[in-house]
Amino acid sequence: MGHVKLQNVSKHFGSLRAVSDVSLDIPDNAFVTLLGPSGCGKTTTLNMIAGLEKVSAGDIFLDGERITDWAPHERGMAMVFQNYALYPHMDVYGNIAFSLKLKKTPKKQIDERVQRVAQALEVGALLHRRITQLSGGQQQRVALARAMVKEPKVFLFDEPLSNLDAALRTRMRIEIKKLHQQLRTTSIFVTHDQEEAMILSDLIAVMKEGQIVQYGQADEVYRRPNHLYVATFIGKPRMSILEGRLCVDARDGGLSFVSGDVTLNWPGNTARQLDMATAVHMGIRAEDVRLIPRGNGTGTLTGQVALLQPLGSDTFIDVARGAITVTARIEPDRHVHLTETVTVQIPRHKAHFFDAQTGERILSLDEGH
Amino acid sequence: MKLRKLFVVCADMTRSFSALFRPGVLYALVALFLIWTVTPVVWVGIMSVQPEINYVAVPPHLRLQDVSLRWYSDMLAQADFADALKNSVIIATLTMVFCLFFGSLAAYPLSRLRLAGKRLFLFASVVMRMLPAIVLIIPMFLLIRLLGLRDTHLGLVIVYTTFLLPFSIWMLKNFFDQVPYSLEAAARMDGCSRLGALWRVLLPAVAPGVVATAVFAFIGAWNEFLFGLILSTSVATPVTVKISALVSSTFHTDTSLVAAAGMLAILPVVVLVIVLNRYIVRGLVEGVKY
């Protein structure tokens, strides 16, 4: 009961195109994240779904009904804001009960529902406090309670964790995840934090400059980014990008990547024929790069350790050769030191190739595997 | 806008002027200014509780046992003076209400909506205030007479509102600006219309600002003299006009009576300011930003 569909939705403010032709199908019960940097149109999109902004073009559907022109409160949605947006002149109880009061719900019912929700979010003891007396975490929980009490069909989250410190953020993330697991209400979450998106979401829509670049399952967006933009936005540490040329050996179907004096060769039977040598950006994630004993092999690169990032559970090293830098993940007890010469191996089926000009994926990962 | 730069420069100059002096010197200057401003009022206060012979003499010999409130009661017993006080209260209150009502209705779109010509509107409304009031006397008089509102409370309220509304709009807009839009967004999600969100959420959130604006409007209306003089004759005379009539009339020769009248005229406003002091300061500090 919370299937949201956007069809060719656009929003422009004068000459500024904030959202361009966005189509999105959000299945019932799904946790969907709109991910992107500031100004990419994700909050505007969310506001249009909520009814706080009018669409310039396109339609929005909820469970098959066209809600494009409906007022915000008619849509059965609840929103949680970045700065909590709690009413300062009311106490916690008043804040949570506000929507019910406006609907003229009987007092007993209001009390019942408010108490239930307050207990669930552990703010029951704070019901008669003033908002200004609460901490950031408590305020956010009250904001969640205010949304929950409406028993909405869709939850909308506008960067709700951005104002919290790191520890609180992690905790609240877990609470939101648990909430979704419990209630299974369709949730649409806006954030610029890709880690948050990965942890919380079933589906991620990566946005750039008002458009959706990729929309899919979280792990698919991670493992199979269809654009350079998505590949570098998602994943920590950032995917290593190498600029160079890609060509297929006509005789044996082997794949070669050349950049400067670095050549990576992979044998195999690449079915696709590439016209000459195509200028590409090659991407590889740190966890897919392996440190191997010195030597040559398929897809190997030898360079010097330029940076060490020990994280405790993993260590990330930057291996540099000329203009190329590749980040590799190594075991924490494997000790390397700066300027040491090492060899890394990049497996063929983990490498991503993007057209240097358009940024779009060129080679399918399982082609020629 | 050049005007904005001018204001910024003046503000900077004021700040650096104060910085030139050591704190002690600054306090001394402020004390001097206070003495200059407050002494006349204090003196009138003294005059209002002493018989005339005591303070007319040089040097004045004030006697504690002569202190009496009889001039106050005498003054209040006079029907026309009591009426004048009542008129001022009615007019100032109504003006305050009008300024708040129309002011918030104007300040809301100025603060929240994307419109063309916002800056121009605000600029124009401030500039209008710089016009010397006396220039407007004749046109206002003709207009009010045309409307048949001469010597009525409503007539004065309308005229006073025209002066005080622009400033009220400015103040309220600045207060609204400080409230993040997400507050109204939350209200709209909860079921308010835009206007409902203004009334139930935004205004309460800026309650101190509303009080500050209300007080400014009230005081502005209470102190108004010129238009009160020209536009009223007998029924709707505010107390400011009544006092001047007392001073210049030959009917009363008892100065203490006039002094009492003067103190009564400023009493409501003084009480208001004392009670709402915090909000007024807030209004001055936060209310006027460029």
Whether B180 has its CB under 8 Å from any CB of chain A: the answer is yes
3-state SS class at B268:
helix
Q: What structural domains and CATH numbers belong to chain A?
A: 4-233 (3.40.50.300), 240-355 (2.40.50.140)
Residue with tokens 């139930």, as numbered in its chain:
B200
Which A residues in the span 103-142 are in contact with B, Cβ-Cβ below 8 Å? 103
For the residues of A317-360, what is the DSSP string, one character each? EEEEETTEEEEEEE-TTS---TT-EEEEE--GGG-EEEETTT-B
- A313: which 2 tokens? 């559970």
Query: Residues A326, A303: contact at Cβ < 8 Å?
Result: yes
Q: Provide the residue ranges of all domains of chain B, joining segments of one domain with +.
A: 72-287
Helical H segments across A136-187, by residue range = 136-148, 166-183
What confidence category does residue B286 fall into, taking pLDDT thresholds of 50, 70 and 90? low
- B220: which 2 tokens? 């502005």
Q: Which of B180, B188, B204 sits opposite A89 (nearest CB)?
A: B204
Which A residues in the span 212-251 are in contact with B, Cβ-Cβ below 8 Å? none
Whether A72 has its CB under 8 Å from any CB of chain B: the answer is yes
Q: Can you state the angle between helices A42-50 and B182-190, rounded to 10 degrees?
A: 30
Cβ separation of A87 and B180 shorter than 8 Å? no
Exposure of A347 in the CB half-sphere (CA atoms within 13 A): 12
Cα Rg, chain A, nearest whole Å? 25
CA nearest to B201 within chain A: A87
Tens of pLDDT, residue by residue, chain A (369 residues): 889 999 999 999 888 899 999 999 999 999 999 999 988 999 999 999 999 999 999 999 999 999 999 999 999 999 999 988 999 889 999 999 999 999 998 999 999 999 999 999 999 899 999 998 898 889 999 999 999 999 999 999 999 998 888 998 998 899 899 999 999 999 999 999 999 999 999 999 999 999 999 999 999 999 999 999 999 999 989 999 999 988 877 777 778 888 888 888 888 766 666 656 788 899 999 999 988 888 777 888 889 999 999 988 889 999 999 888 999 999 888 888 898 899 999 988 888 989 889 999 886 545 543
Q: A181-185, B34-38, B60-64, B275-279: which range is least confident on average? A: B60-64
Buried b (16+ CB within 10 A) or exposed e, A100-128: beeeeeeeeebeebbeebbebbebeebbe
How, if at all, do strands A240-248 and A65-66 pair?
A: unpaired
CA distance B94 to chain A (A): 26
Cβ separation of A73 and B180 shorter than 8 Å? no
- Write out chain A residues lying below 8 Å of B187, CB-based: 87, 98
Residue with tokens 């009490």, as numbered in its chain:
A149
Could you give the CA distance from residue B40 to residue B266 in angstroms, rounded to a whole number?
13
Exposure of B199 in the CB half-sphere (CA atoms within 13 A): 8
3-state SS class at A187:
strand
B190, B192, B195, B202: best mutation site toward chain A, by most A Cβ within 10 Å?
B190
Could you give the CA distance from residue A282 to residue A337 in angstroms, rounded to a whole number?
26
3-state SS class at B83:
helix
Cβ separation of B188 and A73 shorter than 8 Å? yes
For the residues of A195-225, what is the DSSP string, one character each? HHHHHH-SEEEEEETTEEEEEEEHHHHHHS-
Per-residue pLDDT, B251: 56
3-state SS class at A75:
coil
Whether B211 has its CB under 8 Å from any CB of chain A: the answer is no
The continuous run of DSSP H or E covering A259 comes out as strand A255-259
Residue with tokens 């008089």, as numbered in its chain:
B141
Cα Rg, chain B, nearest whole Å? 23
Residues B198-240: tens digit of each pLDDT: 889 988 888 888 998 999 899 999 999 888 888 888 888 888 8
Cβ separation of A72 and B189 shorter than 8 Å? yes
Cβ separation of A83 and B180 shorter than 8 Å? yes
Query: Residues A186, A2: contact at Cβ < 8 Å?
Result: yes
Whether A86 has its CB under 8 Å from any CB of chain B: the answer is yes
CA nearest to A77 within chain B: B189
Statement: residue B250 has pLDDT above 70: no
Cβ separation of B205 and A87 shorter than 8 Å? yes
CA distance B8 to chain A (A): 31
A98, A110, A159: best mutation site toward chain B, by most B Cβ within 10 Å?
A98
Distance of CA A260 to the CA centre of its chain: 34
Statement: residue B289 has pLDDT above 60: no
User: Which fold, B72-287?
Assistant: MetI-like fold (1.10.3720)
Nearest to B221 by CA among B281, B277, B269, B169: B269
Whether B190 has its CB under 8 Å from any CB of chain A: the answer is yes
Cβ separation of B201 and A83 shorter than 8 Å? no
Which B residues in the span 214-273 are in contact with A, Cβ-Cβ below 8 Å? none
Q: How far is CA B124 from CA B55, B95, B139, B288, in A?
A: 49, 21, 19, 16
Question: How many CB pairs below 8 A link A and B?
Answer: 58
Query: Residues A291, A343: contact at Cβ < 8 Å?
Result: yes
Cβ neighbour number for residue B144 with a 10 Å cutoff:
22
- A124: which 2 tokens? 């029951």
- A285: which 2 tokens? 């994630």
Query: Residues A101, B192: contact at Cβ < 8 Å?
Result: no
Distance of CA A205 to the CA centre of its chain: 7
3-state SS class at A82:
coil
Residue with tokens 């206060």, as numbered in its chain:
B45
Per-residue pLDDT, B26: 83
Query: Residues A73, A243: contact at Cβ < 8 Å?
Result: no
- Write out chain B residues lying below 8 Å of A188, CB-based: none
Q: How far is CA A228 from CA A213, A234, A286, A292, A357, in A?
A: 10, 10, 16, 27, 10
Query: Residues A343, A302: contact at Cβ < 8 Å?
Result: yes
Determine the straight-line distance between the first and last CA of chain B, rounded to whole angstroms: 11
Distance of CA A209 to the CA centre of its chain: 15
Per-residue pLDDT, B281: 80
Instruction: ipTM value, please give it.
Output: 0.82
CA nearest to B193 within chain A: A71
Whether B171 has its CB under 8 Å from any CB of chain A: the answer is no
Whether B178 has its CB under 8 Å from any CB of chain A: the answer is no
Cβ neighbour number for residue B74 with a 10 Å cutoff:
16
Q: Between the CA atoms of A332, A334, A335 and A336, what dihedral angle is there, to the nearest 10 degrees?
A: -110
Percent of chain B with pLDDT over 70: 92
Query: Residues A199, A173: contact at Cβ < 8 Å?
Result: yes
What confidence category does residue B171 fall into, taking pLDDT thresholds of 50, 70 and 90? confident
Query: Residues A14, A42: contact at Cβ < 8 Å?
Result: no
Could you give the CA distance from residue A212 to residue A207 in angstroms, rounded to a whole number?
4
Cβ separation of B188 and A72 shorter than 8 Å? yes
Size of chain A, expressed as the number of residues it contains: 369
CA distance A333 to chain B (A): 49
Could you give the CA distance from residue A290 to residue A343 in angstroms, rounded to a whole number?
8
Residues B117-164: tens digit of each pLDDT: 888 887 887 787 788 888 888 998 999 999 988 888 999 999 999 989
CA nearest to B203 within chain A: A89
Q: Which of B182, B189, B205 sits opposite A73 (nearest CB)?
A: B189
CA distance B51 to chain A (A): 52
Per-residue pLDDT, B73: 87
The continuous run of DSSP H or E covering A304 comes out as strand A300-310
- B222: which 2 tokens? 């209470």
Could you give the CA distance from residue B287 to residue B283 in angstroms, rounded to a whole number?
5
Residue with tokens 């609840």, as numbered in its chain:
A78
- B16: which 2 tokens? 């650096």
Helices and strands (DSSP H and E) totals, chain B: 16, 0
